[in-house]
Structure 1
């Protein structure tokens, strides 16, 4: 019988924070693409939280299509945070 490997609380914390950062970026991305970004306080709060989390990704790759540019800017940043959270979770797990 194989023993089940438990995850440490630190590993779960790193993975959770990485997922939360990525979720904020994806939510901001959706707000921009649907045009909700200029309306309401929720969209403003999400934008304010997402901008620093995007790090250096906005403008890293240039394309002529605005929708694709937004997808690349915030999509790559979201993938980065999921990857970093997963890697740190594995290291400390």
Structure 2
């Protein structure tokens, strides 16, 4: 009698295959086609990636927006804590924050230095984070 071999339903580590016993049933969980063990780890990761939007170009857009907002927040903290502007690192953050917030500096004039710094650099940090999240989510929707 010829020996029967069962081909996996899908090629890949976590494919949607039949059960290891070979009776053709699939209970909705992916089968590890190398070992025949049912596992939902790969499926959970893919579903979480889709749900949180961490797929493709959307995650890159969001990450860049958060880095830009982070630069602005670091400068706000450095300025409010009175960091030495002669330091190269502090100077770099100051130059980068000035360039990133050029469109909003002086938008509101207040006499308190702390409030002025928060308005001048905090508004663009929030705007960049919001725009980055919206664009990241939109690119995920259009790519799906």
User: What is the TM-score of this pair, normalised by structure 2?
Assistant: 0.59
User: Structure 2: which 5+ runs fail to align?
Assistant: 1-27, 29-45
Cα RMSD (Å) of the superposition?
Answer: 1.8
Higher helix content, 1 or 2: 1
CA offsets per residue over residues 35-85 of structure 1, 9 Å max, x none?
Answer: 105141110111121111113111001112111000111010100110111
Give aligned pairs, total: 92
User: What residue is the counterpart of 1:58 in the other structure?
Assistant: 105
| Contact kept in structure 2, 1:55 and 1:77, CA below 8 Å | no
* 1:11 aligned residue (58, 70, 73): 58
- Distance (Å, rounded) in 2 between the aligned partners of 1:9 and 1:37: 40
| Contact kept in structure 2, 1:33 and 1:67, CA below 8 Å | yes
- Distance (Å, rounded) in 2 between the aligned partners of 1:34 and 1:72: 16
Pair 1:79-2:138 in alignment: no
* 1:20 aligned residue (67, 72, 92): 67
**Of the two, which has the highest radius of gyration?**
2
Relative CO higher for 1 or 2, CA cutoff 8 Å, sep ≥ 6? 1
